[in-house]
Amino acid sequence: MIELEYKSDFLEVSYDSENSWVISKWTANTSYLTVDQYKREIHALVKAFANHQPLAGNLSLAQNFNFIVDPELQEWVMKQFEGYFPTSSATIVAAEFVSQLSIEQTLQSLDGALRYFDNEPEAREWLLDQAKAS
């Protein structure tokens, strides 16, 4: 069962209890995000990880993510997720190159399996395979 945890103009966060993963879906409105708003969105996402401690992973639907995360903010994001990020994370790539690059740079220091996909079914299948393997 998928339960909506948080919704704003920029981000929707759900928890899939059947698969034990957090799903984050960024909207095209991220083009208008400010740094402070982005931080609020990250706090909402971290709260979902803290509340559920998903065993199977994270599914990040970032194909509409249009916000550029600078290096200082990337470091801040990683500190927020310390101790909460699951061992597997599948990310649907952002269509805009610079936004995608900033996502990759933000996540590069994570421990665990991290893969990028261009479609959701492949990402879900990979997460399920990761869960079976562990």
Q: Tell me whether residue 72 is exposed, middle or buried, using C-beta atoms within 10 angstroms of its C-beta: 0 to 12, 13 to 18, 19 or more.
A: exposed
* pLDDT at residue 7 is higher than 80: yes
Identify the pLDDT of residue 103: 60
Identify the pLDDT of residue 104: 58
* pLDDT at residue 98 is higher than 60: no
Identify the pLDDT of residue 111: 55
Residue 44, helix vs strand vs coil: helix
Identify the pLDDT of residue 57: 85
Q: Tell me whether residue 65 is exposed, middle or buried, using C-beta atoms within 10 angstroms of its C-beta: 0 to 12, 13 to 18, 19 or more.
A: buried
The string of pLDDT tens digits covering residues 103-134 is 656 556 555 577 888 899 999 999 888 877 76
* pLDDT at residue 97 is higher than 90: no
Pure H helices in 2-134 = 35-52, 71-81, 97-107, 120-133
Strand partners, 7: 12
Q: Tell me whether residue 82 is exposed, middle or buried, using C-beta atoms within 10 angstroms of its C-beta: 0 to 12, 13 to 18, 19 or more.
A: exposed
Q: Which of 114, 124, 94 is nearest to 21 (CA)?
A: 124
Identify the pLDDT of residue 60: 92
Identify the pLDDT of residue 41: 97
pLDDT band at 3 (very low <50, low <70, confident <90, very high): very high
The string of pLDDT tens digits covering residues 35-89 is 999 999 999 999 999 999 877 788 999 989 989 888 899 889 888 988 887 778 8
Cα separation, 17 vs 27, in Å, equals 23
